[in-house]
Chains A and B, each alone.
Chain A
Amino acid sequence: MAREVQPVRTPRTPEAIATRDRILKAARELFSERGFDGTSVRMIANRAGVSDPAVHYYFPSKYDLFRALMVQPDYRTPPVARSLDEAVDVLSAMFDWWAENAPLVRILTQQQLRGDPEAIEYFHDGEARYRAEVASILGSAGYEGDCETAADLLFHTLSGFMWDAVMTYGNAAREVLAQPVFKDRIRFAIRCALGMEGCCGG
């Protein structure tokens, strides 16, 4: 909760952008290898070949680094879809982004399960953003069901897939989730959540 008050600075020159990128790359590797608590700012600085203050300059706290790594692409413009089938494509592409970041999701989940307030805040922010995105997608796709219910089902079911994968496969979850059989599974679950799958019971 007690967030640092220093601003997260944006680099302006090409050298500064390159430095910031190197710091992020080092942080991504170290977080994946050693977890959140096992990674210090000094280790990140060493691997990136910069000084500790340089890291602090761009990222006042370790969490700022983590947040910068977990910034989702394109969420500034709400995603849209022209049909329910396209909605399934968009929702499944959104899941792919999480799958690609499985090593970071693994350590984020670790932090959340140990009650780290910032990690839980990230979870709540992510959920709110996801629900808004689902509302935008389903609204533009002409979905006739209840958007909130669908968002609730999608959020929890897809989170469940993600959590199960990182607990079962560790950092290899990224490769496992990229396999076609898994992608089909995700699409099936999304279609279920949107009421697009025919009746299977009885």
Chain B
Amino acid sequence: MAGEREARGFEAHANDTPRDDTRARILAAAMEAFARDGFDGTSVRSIARRCGISDAGVFYYFPTKRHLLEALWNEAPAGSFPVGEPGAPLTAERLAELVRATIHISAENFTYLRLVARQALSSDETAIALRNASRARWRTALMKHFQAAGPHAAELVETFAAAVTGYLLRLEIETGDAFPEAVRDERFQGRVIRAVQRLLPVAPGEPAAAG
């Protein structure tokens, strides 16, 4: 995750100061807390406690809780979606790869995506804009893979996206903090892959994997 990259980047500097480390720790703690308990449900005090510092210690870096949230939006998610060969047939195997790639990204960036989703649901304009940007990137990448599907490509992308969103968000509702492990579980991935393969009509001669 970006936060970890940033932290590693700091370690690389010989004159790394405890202050930089404190700032990074505050951000990491805030990300966790906002993502889990929501912005309104989190106090600066609880973030300070998590970091083992005083409230004033947090306010030294971030004048308000809102500043802390704004700083988190720079922690951009890591990982990119595989870009397929344009025009390659849309096969059951290709669908499986796309599900795995989506799951990988959502597990790697769980805390960030959870924060964005949560704030978007609370009508936070910045979060909505960020979510819409990543939503559009996902669809653009998917569209390249679905090109070969012909005139229905756009509807198939939407159906694919809705199905994957449905299975993943449902898992998040059921598992909460344990989502990253649960989503990587091979049985869960297999379940989503089979569902998507059943749902989307794929090329003849490339039948959906049995089971």
Measured CB to CB, the closest approach of chain B to A66, in angstroms, equals 16
Give the number of chain B interface residues (Cβ < 8 Å): 51
> Contacts of A166 on B, CB cut-off 8 Å?
121
Q: Give the complex CA separation of A161 and B167 in angstroms.
A: 11
Contact of A197 with B by CB under 8 A:
yes
Q: Give the complex CA separation of A113 and B177 in angstroms.
A: 10
> Contacts of B206 on A, CB cut-off 8 Å?
201-202
> Contacts of B173 on A, CB cut-off 8 Å?
112-113, 120, 123
Check A200 against B201 for contact (C-beta < 8 Å): yes
Q: Give the complex CA separation of A201 and B201 in angstroms.
A: 7
- For B148, give its contact among A115, A158, A201 (CB under 8 Å): A201
> Contacts of A200 on B, CB cut-off 8 Å?
90, 149-150, 152-153, 156, 200-202
Check B203 against A198 for contact (C-beta < 8 Å): no
Q: Give the complex CA separation of A197 and B174 in angstroms.
A: 32
Contact of A152 with B by CB under 8 A:
yes
Check A160 against B161 for contact (C-beta < 8 Å): yes
Contact flag A156-B38 (CB < 8 Å), given A201-B202, A202-B90? no
Contact of A175 with B by CB under 8 A:
no
Measured CB to CB, the closest approach of chain B to A174, in angstroms, equals 14
> Contacts of A106 on B, CB cut-off 8 Å?
121
- For A197, give its contact among B38, B148, B161, B201 (CB under 8 Å): B201
Contact of B53 with A by CB under 8 A:
no
Contact surface of A with B, Cβ cutoff 8 Å = 35, 37-38, 106-107, 109-110, 112-115, 120, 123, 149, 152-153, 155-161, 163-164, 166-168, 170-171, 184-185, 188-189, 192-193, 195, 197-202
